[in-house]
Structure 1
Amino acid sequence: MADRGDIIGKVVDATNDSPVGFATIALARPDSSVLNGVTADENGVFLLKNVQPGTYLVRITILGYDTRYLPNVSMPTEATTTDLGVIRLASSVQNLNEVVVRAEKTMVVSDIDKKIVNIGKDLLATSNNVSELLEKVPSVSLDENGNPMVRGKGSVVVLIDGKPSTLYGNDVATVLQSFPAELIERIEVMTTPSAKYEGEGASGVIDIITKKTKIVGTSGSLRGTLGTRNNNNGSAYLSYKTNKWAVRASGSVRNQIWYYRRTLDRQNFLGDTTTYYSQRETGSNGDMDLFGRVGINYDFTEKSSIGLTVNYSHNKDVDKSENTNQTLSDEGTLLEQFDRFSKGTTFNDNINVNLDYRKLFAKERQVFTISANYSNGVSDGESEFDQRSDFPNLVRRQRNLRDNNRHEAVLDADYTWPITPTSTLEVGAKTRMRRSHDDNAFYTFDQEQESFLFNESVSNVFGFEEYTHTGYTSFTQKSDLWGIRAGLRLTDATQKIDQISRDQAFSTHFFYLVPSFAVTRKLDEETQVKVNYSRRVQRPSSDALNPFTDISDPRNIRSGNPNLKPEYVHKAEVGYSHYVEQGGWGPALFVDYSNNAITRIRTIDAAGISYQRYDNVGRELSYGFETDFSKKIGEKLKLNASGRVFRSEVVSLVAHIDNRIWSYSGNLNAFLDLPLSLRASAYVTYDGPRAIAQGTRPGVFVANMGLRRDFFDRKATLSVSVQDLFLSRIYKSKLNTETYTQNSLWQRTNRFAGVTFHYRFGRIAATGGEEG
């Protein structure tokens, strides 16, 4: 085939020159009979390979844009490559009053080092916020506190539009629960992240990409949910665009009340005889969240633009609980007993400002972006504890006052240079500053003075600063069959720890390299195999370093450890993917190895009091098989699923830990068209048992169901959903050591049932498929 050549090009939006990923490019004869076809990658770049000399018609199609025809495309006999350059697509809705795009996006798209999960109507109809979206994404699950896990492990870096989610608030779970689902265009999951991303995130990186305004005109949506036990939420989204300006505004409010129960049973082998401690707790947790976002973009020219985004969030958290504590001797004698009642309120406010500038150079092939981001967060709280007992020495009242202030600033710049139509060099630098000041004050009620007195021994004022400077380079080469991406990131980080109340301060400095490598081999246009490797470095967080002693549960005391060291993780996988319009699958073999792993360690004293703190325990190893799967069965049924079988090991000779276990996990999303234009959905997941530092965690099963119907020419959707259908979301742990054994349980005791109404108006379209 020496006389054949390749046709290359790049597809962009005509209004702002942003890449139009995953467009369909067809190669046809002049009479329009199709000979070949490919799909552009996420950057809009495509390659038609092994084209015979001649004259052709090239057709480019994607939902939301006018079909573009390129006639008289010539492949000369003497040429090896015909470069069509940048091809601009015009919006298909610029001259329409309203349009509703009815096709559903392909859910999963595989890139060299990531999986891209498009958020179509099915996922959106069954999810009110980003947290509910994430638990339906392959490889991702949530722990009992709502924090994301990748392949069953925490320590995940969550980004929003490539920027740390911590800029939106200190608690990731609260940020994800507050962020409306309809703002999300896609979710990118990186189990072996490239060097383009910071080295944090021992388990991986999740990048949540929000929608951008690409269509001239006005569009938006309104959404409201009424749920059981006053669990309600509402949100609104509005987008307006002219040729130069684009404005986006969104807001949401959420009210949620959860009820829970907690049990703990522990045998203590220290002391003269074995003792038995038990705790039974019930309580409620009420959240009220407000979220607002405004974004403005201005295009100076076709090649340069600037954008400003402001986010504000407010959270009010109200906790109430009561627990009964008993300690018995080996003979069954009651040694101590007390009831502890607690109530507390916490307020969190966070404001985030982001400024982005984008410039295209040199025939629109080179791109320079610079971004500045600042976030300020304040958290204030108060808790009171009333402990009652027939044992006079156990009667006490306590009060905890909390004051936390956070500041974070990020400045980063990236430059992308397509050296050739099939090779790209990326370089970038980032500077990040984080500061926090935590004041935790404990007071004990004095009966004689009839007032609360400051308890210095368990109070703490803690200051933390972190300065991180990073630079990276990444090279990507794509041919007709092969794709290679190799990169290296250098990180210089300094952490300053100031135990202000103890007048102790010190700093630590880290300098390390984070390499990454990925190679893919196409078997055909829809099928590829890949091999990935990435090194990660998990630095200890400020919460883990803070030595504050939390005595809110006096028999289970928690504290941080200012002597923690970073955790180094090696991640590798070999994968296969085959995705077409009717479905596909992406199996992979993976292995994760870390030394100096950061985890919580629990010790116990002779009085039966446990002390839990973070520590570097030894090595963690996880390896196994994982796959996602999607399939359309006829015109009525669509299935999306993922699962894995894996081995997890936690070993530490110093801490006398050796836990090894085989496990399996999986989830299934099913969507079924029913009579009367109804569409049913079912979601089930099982997160299997896994090894933890001092024991195991049994599996967790969850089932959700929903039913929806579209109205008003599919501009409105009414849906009914039930979450935790069988009240099976129960988190347990079993710990076994030489000095104690412990079994614990935590469960939310109320299922959620709700009715949601979602209305979309204006020009509802986006690159790649449906936006609503």
Structure 2
Amino acid sequence: MSAFQANGAKVTGRVVEKGGSESVPFATIALLRPDSSVVMGVSADENGVFELVSVAPGNYLVKVSSIGFEPEVVPNVQVPVESRLINLGVIQVRNEANQLQEVKIVAEKSMIVTDIDKTSINIGQDLLASSNNASELLEKLPAVSMDENGSPMIRGMSNIVVLIDGKPSSQYGSDLATVLQSFPSDLIERIDVITSPSAKYEADGASGVIDIITKKATIVGMNGNVRLSAGNYDHYNAGGNFNYKSEKLVLRASGSYQTSQVLNTRRLNRQNLLGEVPSTLFQEGNGVNKNANGFGRIQAGYDFSPKTNVGASINFSNNQNESSGFTANRTVYPDDVVKQKFNRINRGNTDGQNITYGLDFRQEFSQREHNLTASLNYTTGGSDGRSDLIQESDEIKLQRQQYNQRDNNSRSLHGKIDFSWPVNENLTLIAGGHTRQNTRNNNNLLYTYDSETGDFIYDERISNIFGYRDALYSGYVSATQKWKDWGFRAGLRLSNMTQYLDQVSMNRKFSVHFLNMIPSFSVSRKIDDASLVKLNYSRRVQRPNADWLNPYTDITDPRNIRTGNPNLSPEFTHRMDLGYSNYKEVLGIGSSLFTSYSNNAITTIRTIDEEGISYTSFDNVGRDLSYGVETDLSLKLLGDKLKINTSGRFFRNEIVSVPAQIDNRRWSFSGNLNTFFQLPAGLRGSVYVNYDGPKAIAQGTRMGVFQGNASIRKSFFEKRAFISLNIQDIFLSRRYRNNLATPTYIQHSEWHRTNRYIGITANYKFGKIMAQQG
């Protein structure tokens, strides 16, 4: 199929002379593939305006040439399947009299691009300058927010899958929040937010998929950048990346190291309604978490021919964590008589490592759009640590000294293969297979001090040795059909998964098997060159993971005990979106009606005994239903002097379970606002605010959370370098509160991050590059 098919997209722009507003008439515009082979070419008109028409979906380079001017290259021009207009805006070219023997990338793509089944957010300089890592980028995106643990949510819902270049983020580390905080923002080209994933994606992730797409080397030469940042509370970050590309070979290396410290306070009040005389537990505490994260990645790719490419990669990460906390516990009767009083002190440390070896292969056939891709990745990781627990009280029976020794290791193998076959100009078939093999061993050994012997005694009642293994095999087929202004996509994935559990401490082994069919479909209609209406449906499955299944009992807080549930069943969710989008250079808008439904949702359930001790575990409750409307808006004013990106949603969620006596329903709203603006003296500032509204949870309400950030930056050396001042959580408003109410207890809790981040970041780009000849 030709790359310039009749129903393709239009790529437009305007060429002007750098340093002024005069157009460059009749410049030559070449559309190139990533290997720099020419797809088509046009000439700009007398005003420097050009149009590349009927461009097929894919990623391209746009090269601008004119006599007397330096060539300019716009890389990574993404043309999604259903987009009809890609506006590159103004492209500035330098007069040869001022030639610096390098190609500058001066055009910045529109932030939001919509496709038939996803929304892509291009990471421009404004977002990069105000973000040091992937976590800080994600919280600025439409529909995305972060929970108190630093893990992302889509539309306020957890249980999502995060991918990096289409591969599981677990290949960079076992803890998602740590992975995102250590992954440098400089490496990211765009982020795809997929609320109703197609069959191409594995069925995991009941609430959707986030795919972080990293930058690729597309231009011959050497280049890279370095970044340094320093802030209060021991926030330090140093990182950089280096790229080299010849006609056949690509080498990339990147690394970073960061430290941070987070202070917090914790409060909990719980009224115990069981027993003859009700009592109330009051907890007040504070804590400190210190983290040091290291990240490294080396990639190599080689083109054996224009149609055959192989690649290899190594990812490495290391995480060190030190934590300490103090909690005062006081249980009183209604007449203020103290029933029980003690203090709990905990100190812990954890050291974890993760390394992934990867191989990639790509083969194109007689026509470029026919291609086969395959990848194989092996990951090994582990962590060990110790927690010391001291309980102080005037009552001897409440005095306690314990320590917990942890030793965890994991291995995983991921393999996938995909084949794309354009049958004709309007019909494309995609098929593929996927396998995933995981093995985990978790040893949690608890020792209690015996005052009579003076020794720490192993407690086999609470200690747990747990082995876990799973094997997943799945295959899918997807078809995309175009007819005039209509687009149709339907797919089906078949997944076969077996989980093996070995509770060594209990001498109990068993396995569970799941065979699932996961359908999806999408329908879209083009209204004009920039607007699109689409309807998406997908069925998702959230299988219980090893942490949820592990029956280990966590007694860090003896009044709030947590454990896993090896009897969990998968959660199946139906998701549907009806959306409209119209993204143009100056004004872009997208809106959607959405709903999701599950009849066996996995959530945490808290019960209480007569002593007022709560026990939290995972369970399959009844119906989990949410629906609402969501809108995002992007606006440019005064040229490039003011950019506004905002999104919001109004929604209702309901959790109902007759056996568990749960019936919780409420309306709410959430939204965020990003503004980027020019200031005097060449400064550029940004302000970000986010409000994640109240939400019904299984036994109560998770209250709303507000956050405000700001940054200001100054560029130097013709935008090769910048220095920025960033402030996060300006109002110290990151308070995560839950209000729970059941027939047996009423509870109010709050976790508050009590330190704001103020830091300075310096970034410098280096290297001479030139456009590769086709």
TM-score, normalising length from structure 1? Answer: 0.90
Question: Is 2:680 aligned against 1:675?
Answer: yes
Any conservation in 1 of the 2:520–2:538 contact (CA below 8 Å)? yes
Any conservation in 1 of the 2:519–2:538 contact (CA below 8 Å)? yes
Matches within 5 A, 1:257-656: 257-635=261-639, 636-656=641-661
2:19 match:
none
For residues 309-333 of structure 1, the C-alpha deviation after alignment (integer angstroms, 9 at most, x for no partner) is 1000000000011110000012110
SS at match of 2:178: helix
Question: Is 2:20 aligned against 1:16?
Answer: no
Cα distance in 2 for partners of 1:156, 1:167 equals 16
Any conservation in 1 of the 2:74–2:107 contact (CA below 8 Å)? no
Any conservation in 2 of the 1:239–1:246 contact (CA below 8 Å)? yes
Any conservation in 2 of the 1:16–1:303 contact (CA below 8 Å)? no
* Aligned mate of 1:130, from 114, 134, 145: 134
For residues 240-294 of structure 1, the C-alpha deviation after alignment (integer angstroms, 9 at most, x for no partner) is 0111111000000000011000000000000111100011110100000010100
Paired residues in the alignment total 720
Task: Report the Cα offset of residue 102 of structure 1.
Answer: 2.5
Any conservation in 2 of the 1:192–1:533 contact (CA below 8 Å)? yes
Cα distance in 2 for partners of 1:477, 1:96 equals 48
1:51 match:
none
Task: Report the Cα offset of residue 44 of structure 1.
Answer: 4.9
Task: Report the Cα offset of residue 448 of structure 1.
Answer: 1.2
Task: Report the Cα offset of residue 43 of structure 1.
Answer: 1.8
Cα distance in 1 for partners of 2:728, 2:757 equals 5
For residues 110-129 of structure 1, the C-alpha deviation after alignment (integer angstroms, 9 at most, x for no partner) is 00000000011011001000
Question: Is 2:74 aligned against 1:64?
Answer: yes
Provide closer, same or farther for how the CA distance between residues 42 and 66 of structure 1 changes in structure 2, counting only shifts above 3 A.
Answer: closer
* Aligned mate of 2:761, from 741, 752, 756: 756
Task: Report the Cα offset of residue 166 of structure 1.
Answer: 1.2
Any conservation in 1 of the 2:322–2:348 contact (CA below 8 Å)? yes
Matches within 5 A, 1:79-158: 97-158=101-162
Task: Report the Cα offset of residue 38 of structure 1.
Answer: 4.8
Provide closer, same or farther for how the CA distance between residues 330 and 105 of structure 1 changes in structure 2, counting only shifts above 3 A.
Answer: same
* Aligned mate of 2:697, from 687, 692, 696: 692
SS at match of 1:199: coil
Provide closer, same or farther for how the CA distance between residues 150 and 40 of structure 1 changes in structure 2, counting only shifts above 3 A.
Answer: farther
Cα distance in 1 for partners of 2:37, 2:400 equals 63
Cα distance in 1 for partners of 2:381, 2:405 equals 17
1:83 match:
none
Gapped regions of structure 1 (runs ≥ 5): 47-60, 68-91, 768-772
1:6 match:
6
Provide closer, same or farther for how the CA distance between residues 346 and 42 of structure 1 changes in structure 2, counting only shifts above 3 A.
Answer: farther
Cα distance in 2 for partners of 1:557, 1:151 equals 29
SS at match of 1:123: helix
2:58 match:
43
SS at match of 1:233: strand
1:78 match:
none
Provide closer, same or farther for how the CA distance between residues 7 and 389 of structure 1 changes in structure 2, counting only shifts above 3 A.
Answer: closer
Cα distance in 1 for partners of 2:38, 2:265 equals 50
SS at match of 2:171: helix
Provide closer, same or farther for how the CA distance between residues 528 and 14 of structure 1 changes in structure 2, counting only shifts above 3 A.
Answer: closer
Any conservation in 2 of the 1:438–1:463 contact (CA below 8 Å)? yes
Cα distance in 1 for partners of 2:131, 2:44 equals 41
SS at match of 2:453: coil
Cα distance in 1 for partners of 2:551, 2:194 equals 33
Question: Is 2:177 aligned against 1:173?
Answer: yes
For residues 54-98 of structure 1, the C-alpha deviation after alignment (integer angstroms, 9 at most, x for no partner) is xxxxxxx9952699xxxxxxxxxxxxxxxxxxxxxxxx99x9733
Question: Is 2:719 aligned against 1:714?
Answer: yes
Task: Report the Cα offset of residue 100 of structure 1.
Answer: 2.8
Provide closer, same or farther for how the CA distance between residues 751 and 162 of structure 1 changes in structure 2, counting only shifts above 3 A.
Answer: same
SS at match of 1:726: coil
Gapped regions of structure 2 (runs ≥ 5): 11-29, 62-70, 78-92
Task: Report the Cα offset of residue 32 of structure 1.
Answer: 10
Provide closer, same or farther for how the CA distance between residues 215 and 611 of structure 1 changes in structure 2, counting only shifts above 3 A.
Answer: same
* Aligned mate of 1:724, from 720, 729, 737: 729
For residues 521-564 of structure 1, the C-alpha deviation after alignment (integer angstroms, 9 at most, x for no partner) is 01111001001100001000100000001111100000000000
Task: Report the Cα offset of residue 40 of structure 1.
Answer: 4.2
Cα distance in 2 for partners of 1:401, 1:162 equals 35
SS at match of 2:141: coil
Which stretch of structure 1 is more off in the superposition, 476-485 or 714-723? 476-485
Any conservation in 2 of the 1:255–1:289 contact (CA below 8 Å)? yes
Question: Is 2:230 aligned against 1:226?
Answer: yes
Cα distance in 1 for partners of 2:7, 2:553 equals 65
Any conservation in 2 of the 1:215–1:763 contact (CA below 8 Å)? no
For residues 227-252 of structure 1, the C-alpha deviation after alignment (integer angstroms, 9 at most, x for no partner) is 01211111111000111111000000
Cα distance in 2 for partners of 1:242, 1:362 equals 24
* Aligned mate of 1:663, from 648, 664, 668: 668
Task: Report the Cα offset of residue 764 of structure 1.
Answer: 7.3
2:80 match:
none
Cα distance in 1 for partners of 2:292, 2:76 equals 44
Task: Report the Cα offset of residue 478 of structure 1.
Answer: 2.9
Structure 1 vs Structure 2 CA RMSD: 2.5
TM-score, normalising length from structure 2? Answer: 0.90
SS at match of 2:233: helix
For residues 307-362 of structure 1, the C-alpha deviation after alignment (integer angstroms, 9 at most, x for no partner) is 11100000000001111000001211001100111100000100011100000002
Provide closer, same or farther for how the CA distance between residues 634 and 410 of structure 1 changes in structure 2, counting only shifts above 3 A.
Answer: same
Task: Report the Cα offset of residue 631 of structure 1.
Answer: 0.1
Question: Is 2:751 aligned against 1:736?
Answer: no
SS at match of 1:586: strand
Any conservation in 2 of the 1:19–1:42 contact (CA below 8 Å)? no
Provide closer, same or farther for how the CA distance between residues 560 and 534 of structure 1 changes in structure 2, counting only shifts above 3 A.
Answer: same
Q: Which amino acid aligns with 2:343?
A: D
Aligned residues with identical type, % of pairs: 49
Cα distance in 1 for partners of 2:450, 2:37 equals 66
Any conservation in 2 of the 1:38–1:525 contact (CA below 8 Å)? no
Q: Which amino acid aligns with 1:6?
A: A
Provide closer, same or farther for how the CA distance between residues 750 and 766 of structure 1 changes in structure 2, counting only shifts above 3 A.
Answer: farther
Cα distance in 2 for partners of 1:202, 1:765 equals 45
Provide closer, same or farther for how the CA distance between residues 101 and 27 of structure 1 changes in structure 2, counting only shifts above 3 A.
Answer: closer
SS at match of 1:676: helix
* Aligned mate of 1:248, from 236, 249, 252: 252
Task: Report the Cα offset of residue 41 of structure 1.
Answer: 5.9
